Amino acid sequence: MNARSIFRLLILLVIVSLPALAFAQATQTQTKPQTQTQKPFEPVVGQAGKDVVWVPTSQALVDKMLDMAKVTLQDFVMDLGSGDGRTVITAAKRGAHAMGIEYNPDMVELSKKNAAAAGVTDRATFQKADLFETDFSKAQVITMFLLPSINMKLRPKLLDLKPGTRIVSNSFTMEDWEADQTETITGECSSWCTALLWIVPAKVEGTWQVGSDQLTLKQEFQKVKGTLGSHDIEGRLRGDEITFSVGNAKYTGRVDGNTIKGTITGGSGGTFTATRTATRR
């Protein structure tokens, strides 16, 4: 190959490689500004959510809500609409297993990052899901900061949870299902500072046999009214524990399906067993 042919070959190589070089440069200039402008997601208070906007619960109220629910290491806590994950992460820091259900995928990713930063990814998990489509029957504790109308939509499902399940809501009620405990905090909380706790009551409505006496119970959530023999009674449920008084005898028992076993303090004292004979009075 003479010098002229080598020169021609070089020119040809430059011509052939020019478009490739131009493409490489173009893709570089295209991707560069994107990587420069990619900022981490930052949530904005009041941003739209599927059914509720995002407003975070103050850390002080999160602590109060978990205190009221008496969260233990054995508990599985679920936060319905978990936002940036603070309630789930706080429960996990207390040693519980906790799961956040959140519809906004950016909030789910942010929660996962926050859980990693807090070192609790083994106990704090998050699912991108609609709370109305979620099975929360495995939870011993449910936390929520939603809306009164959403609480009411969830209420039948919540009332069907295992007796003793604790439900804590930031600020919003469940109408005539009165809370078992309400606490308002001051100090490190400027808005939405009230927590309400409900303990899912056992279902006791019906007719029961207690020795030779008939016990009739009419139930409205955690309140019961009825008769024991010829005496009117009024009582209360706290999960599967029922209490009612007849004169100065106080009955305290554990409900297990169609059986109640318990003790009587005052009056003649002793123990009692009640067996349900009909679910309606």
Nearer to ligand SAM by Cβ, of 49 and 164: the residue is 49
- Please identify which residue in 103, 172, 177, 198 interacts with ligand SAM, judged by CB under 6 A: 103
What span, in angstroms and rounded, lies between the C-alpha atoms of 96 and 79? 13
Residue pair 58/189 in contact by the 8 Å Cβ criterion = yes
Q: Is 49 in the site for ligand SAM (CB under 6 A)?
A: yes
Q: Is 171 in the site for ligand SAM (CB under 6 A)?
A: no
Q: Is 109 in the site for ligand SAM (CB under 6 A)?
A: no
Q: Minimum Å distance from CB 81 to ligand SAM?
A: 2
Nearer to ligand SAM by Cβ, of 81 and 163: the residue is 81
What residue number has its CB nearest to ligand SAM? 81
- Please identify which residue in 57, 165, 219, 222 interacts with ligand SAM, judged by CB under 6 A: 57
- Please identify which residue in 66, 78, 81, 169 interacts with ligand SAM, judged by CB under 6 A: 81
Task: Collect all residues with Cβ–Cβ distance below 8 Å to 128 and sequence separation of at least 6.
Answer: 102, 103, 104, 105, 108
Task: Collect all residues with Cβ–Cβ distance below 8 Å to 70 and sequence separation of at least 6.
Answer: 166
Nearer to ligand SAM by Cβ, of 98 and 242: the residue is 98
Q: Is 164 in the site for ligand SAM (CB under 6 A)?
A: no
Q: Is 79 in the site for ligand SAM (CB under 6 A)?
A: yes
Q: Is 180 in the site for ligand SAM (CB under 6 A)?
A: no
- Please identify which residue in 50, 157, 162, 223 interacts with ligand SAM, judged by CB under 6 A: 50
Q: Which stretch binds ligand SAM (CB under 6 A): 90-98, 102-110, 202-210, 251-259?
A: 102-110
Q: Is 208 in the site for ligand SAM (CB under 6 A)?
A: no
Q: Is 83 in the site for ligand SAM (CB under 6 A)?
A: yes
Nearer to ligand SAM by Cβ, of 64 and 86: the residue is 86
Residue ranges in contact with ligand SAM by CB under 6 A = 49-52, 54-57, 79, 81-83, 86-87, 101-104, 107, 130-132, 145, 170
